[in-house]
Amino acid sequence: MLIPAKPGAGSRDRRPASLGPPPNQLPRGTETILVVEDEDSVRFFTRRVLETCGYTVLEAVNGKEALEVAAAATGPIDLLLSDAIMPLMVGGELARSLRVLRPQLKVLFMSGFTDDEVVRRGLLEHDSVVLEKPFTVETIARRVRDVLDGKIVRSTRLLGAGYD
């Protein structure tokens, strides 16, 4: 679907509605992010967005693999971006284990459930930062940058596509 860039704009000013801001307008960084997600399509999308923003991305499909990736990494890992609910190990357990190895690690969880639901189930701490799925390119780029910059350290809710 095409939408005008501004009201009354001509057809040459139209762009696909699904595009976010151009990559050069997204928040950028050079940090290393460990993405842990069991759904291939979500992991691939997330990696592509973060690499486009300049980050180095390590990835794992579950908590066990994430611990192995982190143990093998010789450089810093600045952020854990993990699904909250995964097979073998939930995100909260993974974050606690990784912080033993890397105490300065910042954490952002992704979840298809609301943060209230994952806290009520005992899967995350009440002050965990949770980004609800689905999310847009712009939303994940901004949330990652905000967490890395210390602008978000606790949260009760960060919505996905409708947040911005």
What is residue 127's predicted lDDT score, i.e. its pLDDT?
56
| First CA to last CA distance, the chain | 21
One DSSP character per residue, 82-102 reads EESS-SSS-HHHHHHHHHHH-
Average pLDDT, the chain: 78
pTM flag (> 0.85): no
- pLDDT band, very low/low/confident/very high, at 87 (cuts 50, 70, 90): confident
Q: Among candidates 132, 77, 135, which has minimal Cα distance to 107?
A: 77
Query: What class has domain 23-148?
Result: alpha beta
